[in-house]
Amino acid sequence: MRAALEAARAAGSASEVPVGAVVVRRGEIVATGANAPRGTCDPTAHAEIVAIRRAAQVLGRDRLEDCDLWVTLEPCAMCAGAIAHARIARLYWGAADHKGGAVEHGPRFFGQPTCHHRPELYGGIGESEAGALLREFFAERRR
Amino acid sequence: MRAALEAARAAGSASEVPVGAVVVRRGEIVATGANAPRGTCDPTAHAEIVAIRRAAQVLGRDRLEDCDLWVTLEPCAMCAGAIAHARIARLYWGAADHKGGAVEHGPRFFGQPTCHHRPELYGGIGESEAGALLREFFAERRR
Residue range of the domain that includes B102: 1-126
Domain assignment present for residue A131? The answer is: no
pLDDT of residue B141: 85
Report the largest interatomic distance among the alpha carbons of chain A, rounded to a whole angstrom.
Answer: 45
pLDDT tens-digit profile of B58-69?
999 999 999 999
CA gap B58, B30 in Å, rounded: 7
Domain assignment present for residue A117? The answer is: yes
* Catalytic residue (choose from B6, B16, B28, B48): B48
Chain A residues whose beta carbon lies within 8 Å of the beta carbon of residue B99: 114, 116
Q: Please report, for the domain that includes residue A36, its CATH number.
A: 3.40.140.10
pLDDT of residue A142: 80
**What is the predicted ipTM?**
0.95
Best to test chain B binding among A85, A98, A104 (most B CBs inside 10 Å): A85
Residue whose C-alpha is closest to residue B80's, from B31, B29, B119: B119
Q: Is residue B143 over pLDDT 80?
A: no
Domain assignment present for residue A142? The answer is: no
pLDDT of residue B142: 80
Query: Taking CA atoms, what residue in A is nearest to B61?
Result: A41
Which residues of A make CB contacts under 8 Å with B?
A: 37-38, 40-46, 49, 52-53, 56-57, 59-64, 76-82, 84-87, 99-102, 105-109, 112-116
CB contact under 8 A, B41 and A52: no
CA gap A53, A40 in Å, rounded: 15
Contact assessment for residue A133 and residue A9, using Cβ atoms and an 8 Å cutoff: yes
Domain assignment present for residue B141? The answer is: no
Q: Which of B56, B76, B102 sits opposite A42 (nearest CB)?
A: B56
Q: Tell me the average pLDDT across B119-133.
A: 96
pLDDT of residue A12: 96
Q: Tell me the average pLDDT across B7-23.
A: 97
CA gap B90, B109 in Å, rounded: 15
Domain assignment present for residue A48? The answer is: yes
Q: Which residue has the higher pLDDT, B143 or B96?
A: B96
The terminus-to-terminus CA distance of chain B in angstroms comes to 29
The count of domains in chain A is 1
Chain A residues whose beta carbon lies within 8 Å of the beta carbon of residue B82: 43-44, 78
pLDDT of residue A56: 98
CA gap A77, A119 in Å, rounded: 14
Report the largest interatomic distance among the alpha carbons of chain B, rounded to a whole angstrom.
Answer: 45
Average pLDDT of chain B?
Answer: 97
Q: Which of B81, B99, B114 sits opposite A81 (nearest CB)?
A: B81
Chain B residues whose beta carbon lies within 8 Å of the beta carbon of residue A89: none
- Structural element, H or E, at residue A49: helix A47-59
Measure A48 CA to nearest chain B CA, in Å.
Answer: 11
Residue type, B39: G
Q: Is A85 annotated as a binding residue?
A: no
Domain assignment present for residue B103? The answer is: yes
Per-residue pLDDT of chain A (143 residues; tens, 9 = 90+): 999 999 999 999 999 999 999 999 999 999 999 999 999 999 999 999 999 999 999 999 999 999 999 999 999 999 999 999 999 999 999 999 999 999 999 999 999 999 999 999 999 999 999 999 999 999 998 87
CB contact under 8 A, A62 and B38: yes
> Phi, psi (5° rounding) for residue B121?
-115, 125
pLDDT tens-digit profile of B67-123?
999 999 999 999 999 999 999 999 999 999 999 999 999 999 999 999 999 999 999
DSSP lists the bridge partners of residue B32 as B22
Contact assessment for residue B110 and residue A101, using Cβ atoms and an 8 Å cutoff: no
Chain B residues whose beta carbon lies within 8 Å of the beta carbon of residue A79: 78, 81
Measure A117 CA to nearest chain B CA, in Å.
Answer: 11
Domain assignment present for residue A135? The answer is: no
B93: helix, strand or coil: strand
Binding positions of B: 46, 76, 79
Domain assignment present for residue B78? The answer is: yes
